[in-house]
Amino acid sequence: MRQHWFIIAFEREGMFNRSILHKLNAWKDSNERKPLILRGARQVGKTTAIEIFSKSYDQFISLNLEKPEEAKLFSLELPVRDLFQSILLYKNLPSVDGRVLLFLDEIQNSSEAVRFLRYFYEELPKIHVVAAGSLLEIALTQKQIGVPVGRVQYLFMYPMSFKEFLEAIQEQQALDSMNTIPIPPFAVSRLLELFHRYALIGGMPEVISRYAEEGNIVALASYYQSLFTSFLDDIPKYARNETMKRIIRHCFEAAPIEAGERIKFTGFGKSNYRSREVGDALRTLEQAMLVHLLYPTTSVEIPLAPDHKKSPRLQFLDVGLINFSLGLQGHYFRHSDLHSFFRGKIAEMIVGQELIAAGSEEHLKPVFWVREKSQAPAEVDFVIQFDKYAVPIEVKAGAKGTLKSLHQFINRSPHPYAVRLYAGPLEVQDSTTPEGKPFSLLNLPYFLAGSLRDYIRWFIEHR
């Protein structure tokens, strides 16, 4: 019966299935469970996911620590057992029975609540505690809040993935095909079409909810605008002074047009701001998980250490927000290939978004590979570590496209495996670099980016 409570909750609440729910369920049933901190940008669905998850408990106690009266409960410096009794009294709950979930939302507003997580772990292990905070990383830095090391666990939430999008719009047959390895050839055309729509709309839950209800892309404008406004309204919470507010605001507003490019901090977004000012601002936005700074590696072997001395590539929170802010939505109706507009960066960014979303248990950003020599520079879009291999990933236009940089990587690599993501069918081909090194190339349709590790495993095992 346990597996059916998800479905019941969705039908009753009109909410979406999120892959994080399965990770939360595993956490709930673990004998080594610790208080859990769920991290992610605002509006990616953290609170909603916990509300759905709570349906599997006998009792659910929720506190929003943005409310001063609820944060004050933790400032009384009570022993943890007395603290829990005061929470019950505040919520008018005479007692607790069965499995109990305590949810501390926006925990960054109370350094005392963060500190108390260790005492729940040590003295009240039967109470399941989940905390969430979209600005937690910033609060930890600015307020010098110490998270109890070894006493908490983490999960990360991101915008909805392509698989989550398919479930939300009730494309069950397409989703079943996505979950079949290798994917049936007959499903590729339809899934490319749906992925094109997903790349247009993006993965923000509120936007997808409205699209699933109305099916009208034009009507989504107010929801995109509302999201941007909420992010801008948060900026005073990030900044130490008025100057920093202006710089962070500029960097956030410039980020969509700079996304997908390797950036320089000095003069970012056609400004007069200095490298240090922009660097601080972008790292603050990264702590809020609104942008990701993806750094290159020069290695073709594991471990894939990013080189922070080289210029990073900017990844924005969500491609749908980029489309709206830059007026790109009309291009999706005029072009069938994601490489045909916005400098060909959309396909690369949506692949990056899918790779990031696949890492809910550890916040590992993708890296890309560079060989920066004046006469023969090279850049491979992504490199991921799989088992003992550093596997190069190229995102290419159409069914073809040159692979010069990939060949340079393969020439230096100790293994013969590479992947191309493109607008075409699944194919495995034996190839040779111009220098004569043989290698195996896995050609995958774009939409399988979120299942990349599963396909690399299948690819290597079958070679």
pLDDT tens digits for range 316-335: 999 999 999 999 888 888 77
Top pLDDT among 24 and 215 is at: 24
In the prediction, which pLDDT does 439 show? 97
Q: What does the pLDDT average to over 4-32?
A: 72
**Hey, CA dihedral for 245, 251, 256, 260, is it positive or negative?**
negative
When pLDDT is averaged across residues 129-139 and rounded to a whole number, the result is: 86
Q: Which of 179-183, 373-377, 422-426 has the lowest mean pLDDT?
A: 373-377
Higher pLDDT, 268 or 9: 268
pLDDT at 375: 61
What local confidence, expressed as pLDDT, does residue 400 receive? Answer: 53
Residue 401 confidence (pLDDT):
60
Reported confidence tier of residue 356, pLDDT bands at 50, 70, 90:
very high
Instruction: Provide the mean pLDDT of the chain.
Output: 90
Q: What is the average per-residue pLDDT within 360-381?
A: 82
| Structural domains present in the chain | 2-156 (3.40.50.300), 218-461 (no CATH)
Confidence at 13, pLDDT banded by 50, 70, 90: very low
What pLDDT does residue 372 have?
78
Average pLDDT over residues 213-220: 91
Average pLDDT over residues 205-210: 96
Task: Specify the pLDDT at position 397.
Answer: 67
Q: What is the pLDDT of residue 445?
A: 95
Residue predicted with more confidence, 422 or 376: 422
Check pLDDT > 90 for residue 95: no
- State residue 462's pLDDT score: 86
For residues 209-225, give the mean pLDDT: 93
Among the ranges given (128-132, 314-318, 393-397), the one the predictor scored with the smallest mean pLDDT: 393-397
State yes or no: pLDDT of 307 exceeds 80.
yes
pTM listed for this prediction? 0.92
If pLDDT is split at 50, 70 and 90, which confidence band does 76 have? confident
**Measured distance CA(234)–CA(249) in Å, rounded:** 10
For residue 6, pLDDT beyond 70: no
* pLDDT of 338 above 80: no
Residue 12, pLDDT score:
37
Q: In this predicted structure, which of 57-66, 124-133, 339-348, 385-394 has the lowest mean pLDDT?
A: 339-348
